Amino acid sequence: MLIVISPAKSLDFKTPSAIKNYTIPGLLAESEKLVCRLKTMSPKQLSTLMGISDDLGELNFQRFQSWQLPFTPENAKQAVLAFNGDVYQGLQATTLSAEKLLLAQSKLRILSGLYGVLKPLDMIQPYRLEMGTKLKYYKSKDLYSFWNPLITKKINEAVTDSGSNILINLASVEYFKSIDRKKLKAEIVTPDFKDFKNGSYKMISFLAKRARGLMTRFILENNINYPSDLLAFDTEGYSFNSRLSKPGNPVFTREN
């Protein structure tokens, strides 16, 4: 069983890593091509491209100018420990044992606009580049066309290596679109998470993101290998809702 999740805009490069083990991203040569393109852009151009404030444009200009190879523990950090958004607040990777973090290397992949596909312990340097960004690179009109064949190939390899044809999709719609579903050699299971609000169950974005992280941790901690075992997920008050669920789309709900 393989899990895919999205990256996060929020980053933590100040907290020391909880584990010394690290790996190098498998598509780093492609990342370098994108960074070389991004280094030619001004802070204002980056702000316009990404739809971000001038301050964030300046921050990411400095990040891309500072981006350099090789990646080392002195200038980079393991991806699953560096990302710090809602998904990662739920995952709480810093409190996973070293054994579980190493298990995550075979069971978890992080989709990324700059790095394509990351193993949890792959080193990254600070960046912001969402998958939906319309960054052109030679014949590629955007990041989807740039990454699609490479990401699909890597995910298929990871599914095969996992020993199961099950892919648990805990990524956002934006990031999962980077995979060519027609060429994906896996059975996709997409859990959804809904909270009761104003008389009905609704998907509330930041809560659903956090729940994806909770589910990822649940799978890793229990070394789950079968989709049926996901139905036992009950972290932070969630429970399986058979009435709202469909084949390949288990829904978990909770009362607030």
pLDDT confidence of residue 74: 94
pLDDT confidence of residue 18: 79
The residue type found at 59 is: L
Query: Where do the structural domains in the chain lie, given as residue ranges?
Result: 2-27+75-254
Which residues, 6 or more positions from 123, have their beta carbon under 8 angstroms from its beta carbon?
Answer: 22, 23, 24, 25, 71, 72, 73, 76, 77, 78, 79
* pLDDT at 256 > cutoff 80: no
**What does R_g of the chain's alpha carbons equal in angstroms?**
18
Q: Which helix (H) or strand (E) holds 101?
A: helix 98-107
Mean pLDDT value across the chain:
96
Please state the rounded mean pLDDT for residues 219-243: 96
**Per-residue pLDDT tens over the stretch 37-49:** 999 999 999 999 9
- Model confidence band, residue 138 (pLDDT cutoffs 50, 70, 90): confident
pLDDT confidence of residue 135: 96
Is residue 139 within 8 A of residue 149, CB to CB? The reply is no
pLDDT confidence of residue 134: 95
